[in-house]
Chain A
């Protein structure tokens, strides 16, 4: 199979990033709860222990604070550590090593040391899992100076951004989504990385800009396709990195279309959509033909029961409705 057309699922693309980076660089380690168990991490860690040994692929007790701190300490001592949180809800136990320690370390040491760690958090929601097994917490990490936050939407990006995150000398929060794990796409076999901080235009359009990351990119693309039936030509931006944002790409697109709809899988208040909206508004609000629209989760915890759950998560028809109302197109 040609490397240009080889297809892989999102989860196996992440797995390939580990295989390649761990072969290339002996200092790369993977630590976290469930790295031995597909029930926790799907097939993202398959074959790693066999190939690299239990010294470098470390399954851990349920001690998020300490295990994440261990990854930070190992990084300070010269390793490149990836610490996995198979449900990012549990990452809140590790806020201290992530935000107080890793994020601040370079600054508070005047650049004398930095922390090459990847904090890998998986959004794992749906299926009536309820409030503590559902959360998308990327905005919380984006708030802290010193962290970078990436959210790949495709298998190609999942591999390229994981490689970039591991190679980065700074702490990077890598947020993926269990709903994307079975998505298939072209993933070159060779090692490559995607520049952190650069977004990509997934679909060009002239009437409205849909701005999204991770799982919401797919929903936005479905919405854009639907919108063409309403004669609305939507442009879809994939942020890929949510901190630092690709401000140039966002502003250029919105300057062209004059309308912005920001779609995010997190909550509304102080969220990613709020930040993107503020950047657009601060730039030059006069270029806007209509108000900016945020499509986010409501400020409500995730419900368990299916009747509520189906009304909670964002799906493409909701995006279509919002855009149609905003653009004011006729059916």
Chain B
């Protein structure tokens, strides 16, 4: 990023980033079986492959800072501190879920940790995050808001409206575009002339930056710089994170050419598999002796245990009661 120094990332933070990504990955992959068994029925958009963006950005935020997500937000929710039991229970649509089984996978919320909500209307929360930043500016409470959206959302006019107003009012908001190169089924060159999404912020005078979204350390550094700028009244910031989802748009299907969904070339998927964000950080950790193989294995084992517990919690939770259909339409 222009004119900013490179923050040093401590060993503890590096291990935390690893732990966060492993928790997200383990949780995401645990849904595949129950989805195929039709035990989980609501639409689930897995973020396997994109964990570094959620982990890198959210680790630069304080609990009081705000994030808003989209249809693919399990990772954002977990990285911001949302409970895994409540996430898994919500995906199973149980009363104990974070949205009491009324939202499902696409409506995750935990306001106690600043996860303000996620919605599947593409670009639907961009202006909302900006509004939370407006609130922070009015109250001068130094909070920062982050909007996570995908490359598909760049087709919505509200993004440009929000980039303009946020810049006009110097709002403490970070626009984080996770460019995974596919807008559901359409590759990016079929939806945009310019593939440099980060350039969208430039005409509005925003600091705009593209980074390797599979490099969690790069994402963390960029987010720390962005947060720092926002807290000093120098927002907004636009971050384009180049990444790739290892599953298809929705569900466990891989969208590999030749399969019934027939979208993505196998070679492209293989290329990105080599850029796996968890493996990448693992190499860094081992090379720099930040943690031993044994410690990393322990992190995986703990994540698996936590995920098993969360599924068990969800399966043992009841569905919302039929007679409570009309609850929560309004707050009383």
Interface size, A (range): 35 or more
Which residues of A15-72 have CB atoms within 8 Å of chain B's CB atoms?
29, 55-56, 58, 60-61, 63, 65-72
CA of A109 to CA of B58 in the docked complex: distance in angstroms? 21
Contacts of A113 in B (CB 8 A): 109, 111, 116-117
CA of A76 to CA of B135 in the docked complex: distance in angstroms? 9
Contact of A101 among B119, B165, B327 (CB under 8 A): B119
> Most chain-A CB neighbours within 10 Å: which of B119, B131, B132, B143?
B131
Q: Indicate if the CB atoms of A65 and B127 lie closer than 8 Å.
A: yes
Contacts of A120 in B (CB 8 A): none
Q: Indicate if the CB atoms of A55 and B128 lie closer than 8 Å.
A: no
CB distance from A10 to the nearest CB of B (A): 27
Contacts of A170 in B (CB 8 A): 330-331
In the complex, B99 has a CB within 8 A of chain A: yes
Which of B12-20, B155-163, B216-224, B238-246 binds A? B155-163
Known: A55-B137, A110-B101. A68 touches B127 (CB 8 A): yes
Contacts of A72 in B (CB 8 A): 127-128, 131
CB distance from A161 to the nearest CB of B (A): 17
In the complex, A145 has a CB within 8 A of chain B: yes
Q: Indicate if the CB atoms of B158 and A69 lie closer than 8 Å.
A: yes
Q: Indicate if the CB atoms of B138 and A56 lie closer than 8 Å.
A: yes
CA of A276 to CA of B42 in the docked complex: distance in angstroms? 36
Interface size, B (range): 35 or more
Q: Indicate if the CB atoms of A79 and B135 lie closer than 8 Å.
A: yes
CA of A73 to CA of B130 in the docked complex: distance in angstroms? 7
In the complex, A146 has a CB within 8 A of chain B: yes
CA of A61 to CA of B161 in the docked complex: distance in angstroms? 9
CA of A40 to CA of B110 in the docked complex: distance in angstroms? 39
Contacts of A266 in B (CB 8 A): none
CB distance from B115 to the nearest CB of A (A): 10
Contacts of B68 in A (CB 8 A): 73
What 0/1 pattern do residues 122 to 139 of B give for CB contact below 8 A with A? 001111111111111111
In the complex, B142 has a CB within 8 A of chain A: no
Q: Indicate if the CB atoms of B111 and A112 lie closer than 8 Å.
A: yes
* A169, closest chain B residue (CB): B331
In the complex, A75 has a CB within 8 A of chain B: yes
Known: A100-B119, A111-B328, A113-B109. A61 touches B165 (CB 8 A): yes
> Most chain-B CB neighbours within 10 Å: which of A73, A81, A114?
A73
What 0/1 pattern do residues 225 to 249 of A give for CB contact below 8 A with B? 0000000000000000000000000
Q: Indicate if the CB atoms of A29 and B138 lie closer than 8 Å.
A: yes
Contacts of A60 in B (CB 8 A): 165
CA of A264 to CA of B124 in the docked complex: distance in angstroms? 33
Q: Indicate if the CB atoms of A63 and B134 lie closer than 8 Å.
A: no
Q: Indicate if the CB atoms of A63 and B117 lie closer than 8 Å.
A: no
Contacts of B36 in A (CB 8 A): none
Known: A110-B97, A111-B327, A146-B329. A97 touches B164 (CB 8 A): no
* B108, closest chain A residue (CB): A109
Contacts of A68 in B (CB 8 A): 127
What 0/1 pattern do residues 272 to 312 of B give for CB contact below 8 A with A? 00000000000000000000000000000000000000000
Contacts of B162 in A (CB 8 A): 63, 66, 69-70
Contact of A63 among B124, B138, B161 (CB under 8 A): B161
CB distance from B104 to the nearest CB of A (A): 9
Q: Indicate if the CB atoms of A65 and B161 lie closer than 8 Å.
A: yes
Contacts of B110 in A (CB 8 A): 112
CB distance from A95 to the nearest CB of B (A): 11
Q: Indicate if the CB atoms of A77 and B131 lie closer than 8 Å.
A: yes
Q: Indicate if the CB atoms of B99 and A108 lie closer than 8 Å.
A: yes
Known: A73-B130, A75-B131. A109 touches B109 (CB 8 A): yes
Contacts of A79 in B (CB 8 A): 135, 138
Q: Indicate if the CB atoms of B103 and A106 lie closer than 8 Å.
A: no
Contacts of B97 in A (CB 8 A): 110
CA of A63 to CA of B168 in the docked complex: distance in angstroms? 13
* B157, closest chain A residue (CB): A65
* A64, closest chain B residue (CB): B161
> Most chain-B CB neighbours within 10 Å: which of A69, A106, A111, A145?
A69
Contacts of B227 in A (CB 8 A): none
Q: Indicate if the CB atoms of B98 and A112 lie closer than 8 Å.
A: yes
Q: Indicate if the CB atoms of B121 and A63 lie closer than 8 Å.
A: no
Which residues of B132-191 have CB atoms within 8 Å of chain A's CB atoms?
132-139, 143, 145, 157-158, 161-162, 164-165, 168
> Most chain-B CB neighbours within 10 Å: which of A107, A145, A146, A148?
A107
Q: Indicate if the CB atoms of A66 and B129 lie closer than 8 Å.
A: no
Contact of A69 among B107, B130, B139, B330 (CB under 8 A): B130
Contacts of B133 in A (CB 8 A): 73
What 0/1 pattern do residues 80 to 114 of A give for CB contact below 8 A with B? 01000000000000001100110001111111111
| Chain A interfacial positions (CB closer than 8 Å to B) | 29, 55-56, 58, 60-61, 63, 65-79, 81, 96-97, 100-101, 105-114, 145-146, 148, 169-170
| Chain B interfacial positions (CB closer than 8 Å to A) | 66, 68, 97-103, 107, 109-111, 116-117, 119, 121, 124-139, 143, 145, 157-158, 161-162, 164-165, 168, 327-331
- Given known contacts A61-B164, A70-B130, what 4 new A-B pairs fall within 8 Å (CB)? A77-B132, A112-B98, A113-B109, A170-B331
